[in-house]
């Protein structure tokens, strides 16, 4: 309570790529204040017809009834970090940053740690 939740998501696995989860993701991210979602990693794992539409997902989150949640599209993990750097303003109570991927997330973890440490200073 009282903390801002920043959710970072990379749909990386063949399962997470599926548009079957389009509505499920909208509901799942409602608890976050800021949601940063990368485009699908290795999109050829799933046919275009069955593939998650990340831009649409971001729009659906932003149009949902839960007005406090704001979502942002990033084509790549590096773009996600750039956007996070611009918008991350930690609060006195501390923010929560949740990075979700089943892989390397484009190697963002060291840079993410640097962003978080620089905000403490």
pLDDT tens digits along 57-94: 999 999 987 678 999 999 999 999 999 988 887 666 67
**Residue 6 clears pLDDT 90, i.e. is over it:** yes
pLDDT band, very low/low/confident/very high, at 4 (cuts 50, 70, 90) = confident
Q: Which long-range contacts (CB under 8 A, 24 or more apart) does 48-55 make?
A: 50/17, 50/18, 50/19, 50/20, 51/17, 51/18, 51/19, 52/11, 52/16, 52/17, 52/18, 52/19, 52/21, 52/22, 52/25, 53/19, 53/22, 54/11
| Number of domains within the chain | 1
Give the pLDDT confidence score for residue 100 in this predicted structure: 96
Percent residues over pLDDT 90 in the chain: 69
- 101: domain range? 5-120
What does the alpha-carbon distance between residue 42 and residue 101 come to, in Å, rounded to a whole number? 13
What does the alpha-carbon distance between residue 121 and residue 110 come to, in Å, rounded to a whole number? 17
Give the pLDDT confidence score for residue 22 in this predicted structure: 93
CATH code for the domain in which residue 60 is found: 3.90.190.20
What does the alpha-carbon distance between residue 71 and residue 52 come to, in Å, rounded to a whole number? 16
Give the pLDDT confidence score for residue 3 in this predicted structure: 83
């Amino acid at each position: 309570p009282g903390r801002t939740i920043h959710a970072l998501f990379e749909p990386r696995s063949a399962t997470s790529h599926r548009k079957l989860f389009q509505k499920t993701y909208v509901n799942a991210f409602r608890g976050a204040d800021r949601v940063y979602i990368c485009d699908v990693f290795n999109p050829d794992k799933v046919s275009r017809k069955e593939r998650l539409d990340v831009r649409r997902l971001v729009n659906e989150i932003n149009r949902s009834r839960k007005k406090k949640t704001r979502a942002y599209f990033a084509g790549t993990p590096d773009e996600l970090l750039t956007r996070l750097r611009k918008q991350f303003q930690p609060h006195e109570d501390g923010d929560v940053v949740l990075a979700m991927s089943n892989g390397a997330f484009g190697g963002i973890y060291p840079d993410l740690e640097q962003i978080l440490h620089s905000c403490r200073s």
